[in-house]
Amino acid sequence: MYASFQNNVLFIPKQCTLHSKTMYASFQNNVLFILVPTLVVVASQLLLIHRVSSLKMTNAYLDHKCSANQGKYKPGSNYEKIFDSGIQELSNNTKASRGGYVYMDYTDLDEIRFEPERVYFTFQCRGDIYGPQCRSCFATARSELIKRCPRDKGAIIWYEHCLLQFSSISTAGRINYDDNVCYNTARARPNAKSHTGDSVLEFLTLLDNLTSIAVTKRSKFFKNVDQPALFAAGEKTFGNKKMYVMVQCTRDLNAKACEECVVYNIKHFKDCYEKKPVGLKSGARVLGRSCNFRFERYPFVNPKTSSIYLKF
């Protein structure tokens, strides 16, 4: 075994044995493990931090999709062996949870085929979730996705703290325009009021600013990595109201693709965050395989543990 560095990122080839067959984890540009120290959030007496910490502890299930077009694998098949081995590989690797992201292309190179079967895994935690919380989210997502999409070759699940996708088709570096969904989060707060038309422009301006920062600035936790954070969150006061916004892309995308993904979802889900005939809803979120964004009138990420958090 050997470890190599490219652009200050550690790439670790992985080898294991499965039923007397040698299994290799072959990586698209290898597996990206960005090492981030596990953060300990110091309790604050400020009401804002207290509210954020309370919300942060709740890792709610959000949604999932089973990819029927990829078909199902048969029990006892070689694909099932590859899938199970790949899931186990991710479960055992603590570096993924410390860094908050992993993309893995897993296959059996000993399989006698012109094109061996492959399983592609993508796992990413929200930009303020690392260490034990990230690892816990993976364990929950893995278990639930297998239950909700039994033997499906492709599926994705979203939780408050993370997303997990497995697929028989390579998804790295490409924008996924299909696996997206939007929610008007104000429905959980029936007394919440919509805001004026000016708020739509305020929200879009703030989201645009945060997206520009996400694709240009490095995370404060791993500044030695020559890669933008692809995450940013922040808050801004408009009149006597505060708006909290977050944007994140999966780290297999480059900066340009991240921007394109966010812009697409802003246009595609306009009805989700705008109230007709005029006005901005009190909260909304877009979930996607490639990017997501969210805005609320209350804090929902932890500024202390966010890789980028700004007060405008």
- The string of DSSP letters for 157-176 reads EEESSEEEEEESS--TTS--
Residue written as tokens 């992985």? 14
Residue 221 has what pLDDT? 78
Span 56-61, average pLDDT: 78
Could you tell me which of 62, 35, 279, 268 has the C-alpha nearest to residue 158? 62
Q: Position of tokens 């290799």?
A: 24
At residue 171 the predicted structure's pLDDT band, cuts being 50, 70 and 90, is confident
Given the structure tokens 């061996």, which residue do they identify? 116
Maximum distance among all Cα pairs of the chain, rounded to whole angstroms? 67
Higher pLDDT, 60 or 196: 60
Burial status of residue 60 (CB atoms within 10 A of its CB: 0-12, 13-18, 19 or more):
exposed
- State how far the Cα of 269 lies from the Cα of 181, in Å rounded to an integer: 8
Phi-psi category of residue 198: left, alpha or beta, with phi > 0 → left and psi -120 to 50 → alpha: alpha
- Quickly state the pLDDT bin for 193 (edges 50, 70, 90): low
56 confidence band (pLDDT: 50, 70, 90): very low
97-142 pLDDT tens trace: 777 899 998 887 666 555 678 999 999 999 999 899 999 999 999 9
Please name which of 211, 231, 47 lies closest in space to residue 129, comparing C-alpha atoms: 231
54 confidence band (pLDDT: 50, 70, 90): very low
d(CA 99, CA 36): 5
Counting every residue written for the chain, the total comes to 312
pTM for the whole structure = 0.79
Its sign, for the CA torsion 55, 189, 291, 48, is negative
Within the chain, residue ranges assigned H as helices are: 47-56, 78-92, 94-99, 131-148, 197-214, 255-268, 270-273
What does the block give as tokens for 175? 């924008």
Q: Cα(55)–Cα(58) distance, rounded to whole angstroms?
A: 6
Distance CA 217, CA 198 (A): 28
Domains of the chain: 4-167 (3.30.430.20), 180-311 (3.30.430.20)
CB 23 within 8 A of CB 85: yes
Q: Which of 108-112, 180-184, 213-217, 222-226 has the lowest mean pLDDT?
A: 108-112
